[in-house]
Structure formats: structure tokens, C-alpha cells
Chains A and B, each alone.
Chain A
Amino acid sequence: MSPEESSAHPNPHRFQKRGFSYEQAIKYFFASNAGLTIVILAMIIIFLLKEGLGFFPGYQRELEVYRVAGLEFVDISRKNLTAHEQLSSVLNRAYYAEINGQSFRQMRRSQEASALFNSYTDQTGATRDLVLNNSRAAGDPNSEMLAALNANFETQKAKALSSLPPTPHLTAQERTSLIESIRARAIESTEDPPLVTTLAGEFAAAQQKFAEPLQGMRATIDAFAAAGADLSSLVSDMTATVTATKEKIQGADILEKDRKTLLAAAASARDPVEREKLISEAKASLADKPDIEGPIQTLLEHRPDCVRLHTALKETSGGILNQLPITLTQPEAARLLKVARNTWPLFIADLEKTPAAINAWKHDAPVPLTSAISSFLTGKDWVTGGEWQDFYGILPLAAGSLMISIVALSLAIPTSIGAAIYINQYASNWEQSIVKPVIEFIQAIPSVVLGFIGILVLGTVLRDISLLDSLHWVPGFPLTERLNIFTAGCLLALMSIPTIFSLAEDALNNVPSAYAEASEALGASRVQTTFRVVVPAAFSGILAAVLLGFGRVIGETMVVLLVAGNRIKIPDFSAGLGTFFQPCHTLTGIIAQELGEVPMGSVHYRALFVVGILLFAVVLTINATAHRFVNKMKH
């Protein structure tokens, strides 16, 4: 046998491997599946980064335009103007809170009477219209039909009268007389029942009576509000100028972009004729550099005016504080007044600094990329699609997500860990066999259904509860917003309970029973054993459970979109615990809500991707930390 032959057909030895085996095929099949998930994950990350990272240069350009066109200059004044308006509004709210608080009884009586009457008209309105329209119909009113309609109306009326809302502030007698007057009402009458009118009158009278001693305050507030008028009109003037400049620059930017696209197409075009055509088109669309120096100079001519008006506003505002009452009798009014008093020095200090800022402002100062990044990460405004200027500051969204998580976790942690401890340590077998599946069943409820329940049931019930007089002391009650941080937090708590419960229960279960046995053999009671031995031993596992619950809460979208109230604003923390009853928007919600509507490739579109990347990073970090805890527990 020649050497070549032997190498081509080597002599099989006893343990010769024979080709591609069935087992190897199976192995490769599973390996390729695992590999595929990794490849897909990598592709997702690359896609996110590719779409997202373009955001920062784009945003940088927007901020540059914001400066060059002078919008930034106007905003220096506008910021103070807004603060001024907010302060006036707080003072006004304090004023009305004082009056309405004092005339609270009359207000409620009037509201309840109208609510009762409205409930009646809502229920019977449609049938009433039918009757009226048909009896008015010219010619031959079909008497049979009319009778039927009338009968229908009567049944509707009876039904409505038997399901009227409660009126806790009306006496039984008043209620009866009101219902009687409604019952006796002529069908075509359009007047309110006498009691409704009377009570409205009483309320107005009470308001007037309580407003009497507050006349000084009213005048002060009005004077303060009026003090901003001049600055306000100057700002509107300047606004018109800078908006025009901005539009010009943006138009030029678009042309420039088109030109670049044409040139790129020309560079890759093979046919020379085609290329020539593209290049000439590009040349034609070459924009004139818009004149920005001219408008800016006009704008800067307002500088002295601006400074003067600010100084005047500061002067007036400084005196206002002393003319306001020291405090008010109603808690809500007193709180608002205190808020105004506390923010006053800040407002004055801002006004004080403004002239220097106005004089120092330069339209040609460069905008570095870092300022785009920091304006994204620390920006207090998320404003999009507005006429003035878009800002992509993530703080309002992050604050919303965080506040909701705080509510959700502070409800879910005690509940689910308590349940896990009970089920694991004390529950009998049948209790376990009921509670565990029930808690896990919560997970099966689609989040959109939960959101639905949240709006219809939780939001409404909570608002109704908040109207109870006996709960007036609760911060934030009565609720002004039906959908708020708290409602969203409650539902997310419900959603995260199964996660935290199951994982915490697993962690407790993984504690060797030898620990508990040793503890009891040493004379510890069941409770001591649970809390001194079992729970500490499971601690890192429980922490991991909480973290994964947090990850679930932060990443949840549907419920917050439906229930959080979607107001893009950093919550007003001056309301104390009442802050939790304000609406908010979230990192997840904003993506879900806006991504469908933004033009692809725009700065706004990319901003949403960056939010997504951020969210991804946060959840990834949380999960990684949780896994570290789990591994720690396994020793």
C-alpha cells in the first residue's frame, strides 16, 4: 500500500469515530439556537445604538439654532415671566382656597344639589328630547306613538329618581323637597329646580361674604399680576423676531441636507450624464446663508428695555410680600401661601441675577456636544412638537418613573414578602395550595386589562373616597386628578407582587431546613426562627426578588400609559405627600406614546431611542445586580 493511499483511507482503529453522529446533530441544533439568541440580542443593541447615538449631534444643532436665532435670549426673560405667572397663580389659588374653604358647607350643598339634578337630567335627557321633538312635530302628531314615548319617559323618570347620588350635606327634608320638585316638573321646563338655584345663590353669597375681609389680598394679587404686563408684551415682540430667524435657519438647514443627499447620489451615480444632472441640481439648491446678524442686532437693541423692566418687576415684587396676609385660616390656603412665601426669595434672586445674564449673553458662543448630552440627562423639560423650541430633558420622565416605582414598591414589598414569609413558614398545605396559584394568577391578567380596571375602578373609587369630609386631612385630598402617580403605583404594585412573591418564596424555600431545625432545637420559637434565622439566610435572595420586581415596575408600559395621567412635568414636590397624587409621565410611556407619531430619523425620534437605551441599561443593571445577589446566596 502506498503512503498516499494510507493517508486517504487510514486504517480504522478499534475506537474509530464514525462520521457525523446523531448526537452531534442534536448538540449543534441546540448550540445554534443558543447562538441565535445571542446574535439577535447583539443586533438589537446595535440597532438601538445606531438609531440613538445620532441624537446627540442632532440635538446639538438644535441647541445651536436655539442660541444663534436668539430664542435663548428671549427665554432668559420668559423664565422669569413664567415664574411670575406661577406665583400669581399660587396666590390666586390660596385666595380661592381660603374663600371656598370657609364657604365649604355652602359649596358642597350647592354641588350636591346640582349633582343630583344633573344625574336626573343625564338619565332622562334623551327620552325627554324624543317626547318634546315629537310633540312639536308639525301636522299630525301620532297620538299612539306620543303616548308610548310619554310612558317611556315616565318609566325613565321613575328609574332615574330611584337611583340618585347621595347628598350628605342636605337635610332629609331638603332632599325630599328637591326630589318632589323634580318629580313635579313640567316636561318642557328648562329652569333649574328652586332649591338648586337657592343653594347656588347661598354659595355665591357666602363667597362674597368671605371675600369681603380679603379685599386687601385681592388687590395685592391683582397688582402683582399686573406688574408683569410690560415685560410680557416685550417678550411677545421679541418672540416674533426670533421665531422668524429660526425658521430661516431651519429652512436653510433642510436645503443643505438635500444638497448633501444629491451630491452623495451623484458620487455613486455611474452614468456621467446622470451625475452632471445631479450635481447641477445640488448647486441649484445651494441655499443663501440666511442673514442672522441683522435680526440679532434688532433683538439686542431691546437689552436696555429688558433690563429696565426686570428691575422694575423686582422692585414691585419685593414689596408685595409684606402686603400679603401672614397666614390664612384654611389649611390648603395656608399651605399655598407658605409655598408662595418660600419661593419668593428665589424669584427675587433670579430677577436680581437676570440683568447680568441679559448683558452677558452672546449669540455666537459655541454649543459643545457635551452640553447636548448634559441638557438631555439633566434637562427639566421634555417639550416636543412645540412652536417655540423642543427640549429633550429626561428628568420629568425619570422622576415620574421613579415616583411610580416608589409607590409600587412600598406597597408591593411588604405585601409580597409578608405573604411569602407566611406561606413559606406558617401556612398549612391547603392555604398554600390556594394562595400560591392565586398570586401567580395575577400575572396572567393582561396589563391592558389592569390599566382599564385602574381607570374605571381604582381611579374613580379613589377620587370618591378623597371627597369624604373625614379624609380631608390626607395630603393631596380631595384629588384634583383622577389618574395620578398613586393609581399607577397601586396597579404596578399589583403587577410586581407575583414576581417578588414567587422569588422571595423560592429564596425562603432554599434555606436548608436544617437551619430552622437547629434554631428550634435551641429553644427558639417559630417566629424567632423565621426572623432570626430563615429570613436573614434568605436575605440576598429576597433582595434579588425586590430588585427584579423593581425592574418589572420600571419596564412596565401599558399600565402607566393608561393610568399615570401622562403630564410631562417634574412633580411639584412642595405638595409634600400630596405629590404622589399628581399625574406624571414615564420613560416607557413616552416611547409608547410618541414613537408612532414622530417622523423617522428626526431628532425627536432619536431622542426616544436614547430613552430606550437608557431604560435598557437601567433594567440590565438591575437584573445583573439581582443575579449577583442570587449567586451570593448559593455561596
Chain B
Amino acid sequence: MQTAIQIQNVSFAYGSKQVLHDVSMDIPARQITAFIGPSGCGKSTLLRCFNRINDRIPGAHLTAGSILVHDIDINRRDIDLQELRRRIGMVFQKYNPFAKSIYENVAFSLRVEGRTKRSELDGVVENALRNAALWDEVKDRLHASAFGLSGGQQQRLCIARAIANQPDILLMDEPCAALDPLATLKIEELLMELKKQYTIIIVTHNMGQATRCSDKTAFMYLGKLIEYGPTMQLFENPQNPQTEAYVTGTFG
């Protein structure tokens, strides 16, 4: 199986606050990998290292180790961050469409790349919305504000926006945390579709979601990777007592 991201002995700190300690793992391509663990254990931080969006936070830096995406160290000096981020889409916990029309939200990544040909954009927007299972619901109001959509629709719009430029990898940080169960179900169905084309890494609090969707699961605790393996095995036959306590709900 192909490896999409290799994480090698990564330690990470916000200023002087050490958050990740010596994390190593290989994330397989075209599968769904779930990160689970209690709040504050560093799941988001790790995820945000993959597209270096943590660079926005002053003082945030890798203290050791390296991250390889398709065998290239993304913390090299000569990395074109914009190109890297075009290859790695991201969906956030709280849906955050721009104050623009539905159409312009989806077309954003192409526009900033300088691709503005109307016919091309039309095709890309339709395709992305179809892939995000949103097309039928919005095709009549593409130029209406994105804020008119329901929460679940807005989150799917964010997914469409993230996949419009055909990235290889999709990072999702608790994408269903702000949604009701029905909308969550829709997104989970969508994930199963997207998996065919994308490598997906999803942070989740919901263990049911991890078991339903993911192929592999990583359990983190206090900035350390405790256990990582196929989802079935991790939930049914955890090797580490901490993992066991967490998945059975007797943790703490």
C-alpha cells in the first residue's frame, strides 16, 4: 500500500509550550485515517502540521522530526506553501464559508491560482458540488450568498471548496462537531465516496464515527501517539491499556 504522509519523530511546540512529543506514523493513501483522543491531546495540531497552516500562529514551530508528503519534506526552506496547500485541502471544525456567493466560494481556490476562465470554472464548480453531494440542493441559487444555507449544507460547501482544485489529501478537523446527527450522517456517506479519490485524515471525537468511516485509527494522549493500527483491531483488540480504557469509555 502506498504511503501518502510519513511522520517521523515529530515534536511540535507553540512558543515554549511543547504540544507533540516524538510522533511517528505512516498514513496510507486513498484511505481514511482517524485521529482520536481526549481534548487537548494534540490531534488538531498534528493535522495542521500537514499543510503547515500552523505557520500562521506566531511562535508555532516544529522542534524535531520531519513530515514527508509524497516523499518530500514539507518543512524544507524551498517549499512553495501555496502549491503545497493546493495539494492538501482542509475542512475545519466550524463551517466557515466566505461572505461570497456559493459559486465564488467553490471557485476561490482556482481564482487565487489565476484560473479565471468562466467555462473552466463552471465545470469545476459543478463537479465539486456534485462530489460534495450538494449540487442538487443549490444548483438553482449558485449566486446566492453562502450564508443562506443550513449548517450541514455550509459544511458540505466547505468540502466542495476544499476539493474543487482536486487535491490529493483532504484534512478534516472534526467536520461534524457543529452538525446535527442527520447532517453528520450525510457527511459520513460523502466520506465513503470521497475516499475513492482522496487520502482523508479526519480528527473526530465521535468513536462511532471513527469505527464507521475509517480504515486506520490513531489514538493520541498528551501529545504522544499511544497506538496506531487498523480501526477494527484498535477498537476490538487494543494493545495498550490506555487505548482500551479510552475506547471502552472507562478512561480517566
Interface residues of A (CB under 8 A from B): 429, 512, 514-525, 528, 532-533, 536-537, 635
**Residue B1 at the chain A interface, CB threshold 8 Å:** no
Q: Which of B51, B94, B98, B100 contacts A521 (CB 8 A)?
A: B51
Q: Known A429-B58, A520-B85, A533-B98; judge A525-B53 contact (CB<8 A).
A: no
Chain A nearest CB: distance from B146 CB in Å?
12
Q: Known A520-B53, A523-B113; judge A536-B108 contact (CB<8 A).
A: no
Chain A nearest CB: distance from B88 CB in Å?
8
Interface residues of B (CB under 8 A from A): 51, 53, 56, 58, 82-83, 85-86, 89-90, 92, 94, 96, 98-100, 108-109, 111-113, 147, 158, 161-162, 165
Whether A517 pairs with B92 at a CB distance below 8 angstroms is: yes
Whether A523 pairs with B112 at a CB distance below 8 angstroms is: yes
Q: Known A512-B96, A514-B94, A533-B98; judge A522-B161 contact (CB<8 A).
A: yes
Q: Known A524-B112, A528-B112; judge A518-B99 contact (CB<8 A).
A: no
Name the residue on A nearest B164 (C-beta).
A522
B residues near A521, Cβ cutoff 8 Å? 51, 53, 85, 89-90, 162
Name the residue on B nearest A511 (C-beta).
B99
Name the residue on A nearest B162 (C-beta).
A522
Name the residue on A nearest B112 (C-beta).
A524
Name the residue on A nearest B147 (C-beta).
A635
Name the residue on B nearest A528 (C-beta).
B112
Name the residue on A nearest B95 (C-beta).
A514
Alpha-carbon gap, A145 to B224, bound state (A): 96
B residues near A536, Cβ cutoff 8 Å? 98-100
A interface majority secondary structure: helix
Name the residue on A nearest B80 (C-beta).
A523
Alpha-carbon gap, A515 to B83, bound state (A): 19
Whether A517 pairs with B53 at a CB distance below 8 angstroms is: yes
Alpha-carbon gap, A516 to B112, bound state (A): 13
Across the A-B interface, give the 5 residue pairs with the lowest CB-CB distance, nearest first. A523-B86, A514-B96, A524-B112, A521-B90, A522-B109
Chain B nearest CB: distance from A544 CB in Å?
16
Whether B89 pairs with A519 at a CB distance below 8 angstroms is: no
Q: Which of B56, B100, B108, B147 contacts A522 (CB 8 A)?
A: B108
Q: Known A516-B56, A517-B56, A519-B98; judge A524-B92 contact (CB<8 A).
A: no
Alpha-carbon gap, A49 to B24, bound state (A): 78
Q: Among A512, A518, A520, A523, which residue has the most Cβ atoms of chain B within 10 A?
A: A523
Name the residue on B nearest A533 (C-beta).
B98
B residues near A537, Cβ cutoff 8 Å? 98-99
Chain B nearest CB: distance from A529 CB in Å?
8
Alpha-carbon gap, A48 to B147, bound state (A): 45
Whether A518 pairs with B112 at a CB distance below 8 angstroms is: no
Given A515-B96, A518-B158, A537-B99, 13 new contacts (CB under 8 A): A514-B94, A516-B56, A518-B161, A519-B108, A519-B112, A521-B53, A521-B85, A521-B90, A522-B85, A522-B86, A522-B108, A528-B112, A532-B112
Alpha-carbon gap, A528 to B114, bound state (A): 11
